[in-house]
Amino acid sequence: MFEKVLGLPVHVLVVHAVVVFVPLLVLLAVAYIALPRFRSRLDWAVAALAVIAPITAWVGTESGEALQERQIARGFAGEILAQIEEHASYGDVLSLITLGLALAVILLLVANSGHRRVPTVPRWVPPLLSVAVVVLGVLALVYVWFTGHSGAEIVWGNTFE
């Protein structure tokens, strides 16, 4: 399922979605926190990204594992396999951070919704969730960089030096 689409490895296609949607989630979530007067305009976009970003990160991880298994079966070993494993470990962490970020964002949206069916939360909950979103957002951006850079190094190496 996660191996090929139209003859191309799924991983090669989906990583671009991860590189777009995870930072976009961070950007809009921080805008939601920092610009309260625009929350009613941002909430649906932030909610949609809180669903899309972790899905793309998960598919990226699963498709990467499928590609890694394929490369091992083709005889990849030694230094290149160590680089692939390092890249995979960054991707695993990114997937978990993105899931945590998405959950914190959704909880923040619910806490700030003011909907009559949402129980009143203590006043300290939204600021705490906001801090969690910012911290997880920074970590997500760092791991998007680590994961993307290590993947690019595997593919391109020193081609452009």
Calculate Rg over the CA atoms of the chain. 18
Does some domain include residue 104?
A: yes
Non-local (6+) Cβ contacts of 13 within 8 A are 5
Tens digit of pLDDT for each residue in 71-104?
Answer: 888 887 888 888 889 999 999 999 999 999 999 9
Does some domain include residue 15?
A: no
Does some domain include residue 16?
A: no
Quick one: pLDDT band at residue 115, thresholds 50, 70, 90?
A: confident
Tell which wins on pLDDT, 155 or 24: 24
Query: What is the dihedral sign for C-alpha 74, 80, 82, 86?
Result: negative
pLDDT for res 69: 85
| Containing structural domain, residue 85 | 4-8+39-156
Quick one: pLDDT band at residue 2, thresholds 50, 70, 90?
A: low
Does some domain include residue 114?
A: yes
Tens digit of pLDDT for each residue in 48-76?
Answer: 999 999 999 999 999 898 888 888 888 87
Question: Can you give the pTM of this predicted structure?
Answer: 0.89
- Domain count across the chain: 1
